Amino acid sequence: MGWNFATDPEWAEQLAWVADFVREECEPIDLIVKESHDLNDPVRQALIPPLQEIVKQRGLWATHLGPHLGGPGYGQVKLALLNEILGRSECAPIVFGSHAPDSGNSEILARYGTPELKQRYLEPLLDNRIISCFSMTEPQGGADPKVFTTSAVPDGDHWVINGEKWYSSFASMASFLIVMVVTDPEAPPYQRHSMFVVPAETPGITVLRDVGLGYQPLGGGGREGYVRYENVRVPADHMLGPRGGAFAVAQTRLGGGRIHHAMRTVGLVRRIFDMICERAVSRHTQGGRLADKQMVQEMVADSWMEIEAFRLLTLQTAWKIDQYDDYKAVRADISAVKAMMQKVLHDVSARALQIHGSLGTSHEMPFVQYLTESFVLGLADGPTEVHKVTLARLLLNGYSPAPDVFPSEHLLRLRAAAERKFADRLAGIPRD
Ligand SMILES: Cc1cc2nc3c(=O)[nH]c(=O)nc-3n(C[C@H](O)[C@H](O)[C@H](O)COP(=O)(O)OP(=O)(O)OC[C@H]3O[C@@H](n4cnc5c(N)ncnc54)[C@H](O)[C@@H]3O)c2cc1C
């Protein structure tokens, strides 16, 4: 009987070091560096690479990678405990070499890239000497890939790509883009698309604009590329995976990516929870602390219960991934975690904003950003609604219809069965 919530002492020691390091070194950098992915920013380059060196020496660099990529293969439970600390800081994932979208893109390259592509892109990507972009969503829709129209047609030993992509994060800064395009329009819907590595310097790629999130100023700070591909020629060997196989290739990055986002979100909501509690015991109104008002106490209690439930589900899902070593076997769990993550971050951030009053709405506190982030989590890698539908479908698959018009748990049916079961023993005993 194995049922143990303890962390092994060696890993606990590493985690204690990480917690100090993130608090002392990474969290302050979040307030100085504008964009931790921007390798051309001298401020970023002065502050982040030295920390990355320390992490490498400590043996904690790119811990998400399996042994096939030179990683330690720690397993998802250890990663969960690590990532929930990294989630406290915006730059910590990049300081520890496990940042999106490069983490997922490196998995794709490792599995499907030619030796030349791996040498050119995978090695520097794993070392954060370059960054990458995943370019799939289109202006007319992202949740339903069947509406994608960006296409590639063969031309000699090249493919020629035309179309537009939307919200391609870091497109302006990336050295290469992994682009999903229609290559087989007549095939069944999920066999129409193929995936290509497109070097950023290829003629015909234009970033029309870098869209910013709602809390960023119009015309500055955006990193979500609106990208046009116009007669972009890529060599045939830049196709990743089989022709028509883009959906299978995309899954390589999504399973791991979703659970890692959730692990980091646990850390973020725990940090926000601390802010709620500090405010509750600091602020006085109507002759007492906010902490003494029952509705504030309800906010504290609800937040804690939701965070802990979310954390346990995330850890259990990580544990199942380690047990089964197959993302398909935990699709339901991952969808549940993915859907829950938006709600927990949203609800906890909203309470934190409320309890901080006017200050909470201001740009001097991070809550408006966190609220927006909750919606980002509910969209990127598939909308919450789609994950709930997936979860419900998978759960319902395990059920059969009732034997007749009454449910199988109908009390009259159950009692009749119980009477039959015990008929011999009850024979002759007077009953009401
Ligand atoms: C910050 C951020 C970064 C991103 N980075 C990338 C990236 O790097 N590369 C990339 O390719 N994409 C990226 N995306 C895009 C993301 O994948 C899409 O936003 C997502 O797939 C949804 O597509 P959409 O925005 O076009 O919304 P739509 O497809 O228009 O959907 C809008 C809404 O409709 C509802 N809806 C959709 N489908 C269903 C359904 N089946 N049932 C019920 N309701 C439904 C949901 O409420 C959904 O939010 C990013 C998004 C964000 C917010």
Compute the distance from residue 384 Cα to the ligand 1 centre, in Å. 9
Q: Which of 352, 268, 329, 297 is nearest to 27 (CA)?
A: 268
Q: Is position 118 within any domain? A: no
- Please tell me the residue having the least CA distance from ligand 1 atom 30: 141
Cα 379 to middle of ligand 1, angstroms: 5
Q: Whose CA is nearest to atom 24 of ligand 1?
A: 142
Q: Ligand 1 atom 32: the closest Cα is on which residue?
A: 143
What is the mean predicted confidence (pLDDT) over 366-393? 96
Whether residues 257 and 385 share a domain: the answer is yes
- Per-residue CA distances from 334 to 101, 102, 263, 352, 384 (Å): 18, 20, 11, 27, 12
Q: What's the gap in Å between 376 CA and the centre of ligand 1?
A: 9
Instruction: Answer yes or no: do 197 and 221 share one domain.
Output: yes
Band of residue 257 on the pLDDT scale cut at 50, 70, 90:
confident
For the chain, the first-to-last Cα distance in angstroms comes to: 44
Give the chain's mean pLDDT.
95
Which tokens go with 150?
């960006």
Q: How far is the CA of 167 from the centre of ligand 1 (A)?
A: 9
- Rounded CA separation 301/284 (Å): 19
Contact 385 CB / ligand 1 (< 6 Å): yes
**Could you tell me what percent of the chain has a pLDDT over 90?**
86
Find the range with the poorest average confidence among 31-35, 290-294, 379-383: 379-383
- If you measure from the C-alpha of residue 386 to the centroid of ligand 1, how many angstroms do you get, rounded to a whole number? 10
Is there a domain that residue 123 lies in? no
* 96 and 187 fall within a common domain: no
Residue whose CA is closest, atom 38 of ligand 1?
143
**Ligand 1 center to 223 CA (angstroms):** 16
- With the most atoms of ligand 1 within 8 angstroms of its CB, the residue from 132, 167, 247 to mutate is 167
Residue 422 resides in a domain: no
Q: SS3 for 266?
A: helix
pTM of this structure: 0.94
**Domain presence at residue 406:** no
Q: How far is ligand 1, taken at its centre, from the CA of residue 224, in Å?
A: 13
Mean pLDDT of 414-427: 97
Residue 229 has a pLDDT of 98
The reply to whether 330 falls in a domain is: yes
Tell whether the model's pLDDT for residue 255 goes beyond 70: no
Report the SS3 class of residue 396: helix
pLDDT mean over 394-409: 97
Q: Identify the residue whose C-alpha is closest to ligand 1 atom 16.
A: 380
Instruction: Classify residue 97: in a domain, yes or no.
Output: yes
Written as one letter, the residue type at 252 is: T
Same domain, 88 and 69: yes
**Of the ranges 62-66, 197-201, 211-215, which one carries the lowest mean pLDDT score?**
62-66
Same domain? 171 vs 312: no
Question: Is the minimum distance from the CB of 101 to ligand 1 under 6 angstroms?
Answer: yes
Residues 140, 197, single domain; the answer is yes
| pLDDT-above-70 percentage for the chain | 99
Number of alpha carbons in the 13 Å side-chain half-sphere of residue 37:
21
Output the pLDDT for position 325: 81
| 278 plus 393 within the same structural domain | yes
In a domain, 2, yes or no: no
- Domain termination residue (choose one: 53, 85, 113): 113
Distance 383 CA to ligand 1 centre (A): 6
- Does the C-beta of 384 come closer than 6 Å to ligand 1? no
Q: Is 55 in the pocket of ligand 1 (CB under 6 A)?
A: no
**What phi and psi values does residue 275 have, to the nearest 5 degrees?**
-65, -40
Q: 304 lies in which domain range?
A: 248-397
Count of structural domains within the chain: 3
Looking at the structure, do residues 142 and 274 belong to the same domain, yes or no? no
Give SS3 for 233: strand
Report the number of secondary-structure helices (H) and strands (E) in the chain. 16, 10
Q: Rounded distance, CA 207 to CA 407, Å? A: 58
What's the mean pLDDT in 395-413?
97
Give me the half-sphere count of Cα atoms (radius 13 Å) on the Cβ side of residue 296.
Answer: 22
How many A from CA of 108 to the centre of ligand 1?
21
Report the CATH number that the domain containing residue 88 is assigned in CATH.
1.10.540.10
Q: Is the pLDDT score of 220 beyond 90? A: no
**Among 61-65, 79-83, 113-117, 271-275, the least confident range:** 61-65
What span, in angstroms and rounded, lies between the C-alpha atoms of 75 and 11? 12
pLDDT above 70 (res 249): yes
Provide the pLDDT confidence category of residue 352 given band limits of 50, 70 and 90.
very high
Supply the DSSP string of 158-180, one letter for each residue: EEEEEEEEEEEETTTT-SEEEEE
| 369 residue type, one letter | Q
The sign one gets for the Cα dihedral 243, 247, 250, 252 is negative
Q: Are residues 297 and 391 in the same domain?
A: yes
Using a 6 Å cutoff on CB, does residue 224 contact ligand 1? yes
Residue 191 and residue 277 in one domain:
no
Both 383 and 257 in one domain: the answer is yes
Position 418 in a domain = no
Say how far residue 167 (Cα) sits from the centre of its chain.
Answer: 16
Closest ligand 1 atom, CA of 376?
53
Give long-range contacts, CB 8 A cutoff, 24+ apart: 203-210: 203/231, 203/232, 203/233, 204/161, 204/229, 204/230, 204/231, 204/232, 204/233, 205/177, 205/229, 205/230, 205/232, 206/230, 207/171, 207/172, 208/164, 210/171, 210/172
CATH of the domain at 380: 1.20.140.10
Confidence at residue 351, expressed as pLDDT on a 0 to 100 scale: 98
Mean pLDDT of 260-267: 94
Cα–Cα distance for residue pair 432/423, rounded to 1 Å:
15
Q: How far apart, in whole angstroms, are the C-alpha atoms of residue 364 and residue 192? A: 48
Write down the pLDDT at residue 253.
73
Instruction: For residues 242-269, give the mean pLDDT.
Output: 88
For residues 353-365, give the mean pLDDT: 98
| Nearest Cα residue to 271 out of 89, 82, 94, 11 | 89
Residue whose CB lies within 8 A of the most ligand 1 atoms, among 35, 211, 215, 379, for a mutation test = 379
Q: Tell me: do 222 and 255 sit in the same domain.
A: no
Residue 23 near residue 88, CB atoms below 8 Å: yes
- Among the candidates 218, 240, 262, a domain finishes at 240
Which helix (H) or strand (E) segment holds residue 148: the answer is: none
For atom 7 of ligand 1, which residue has the closest CA? Answer: 168
Model confidence pLDDT, tens digit, residues 162-203: 999 999 999 999 999 999 999 999 999 999 999 999 999 999
**CATH number of the domain residue 211 falls in:** 2.40.110.10
Residue bearing the bigger pLDDT, 272 or 253 = 272
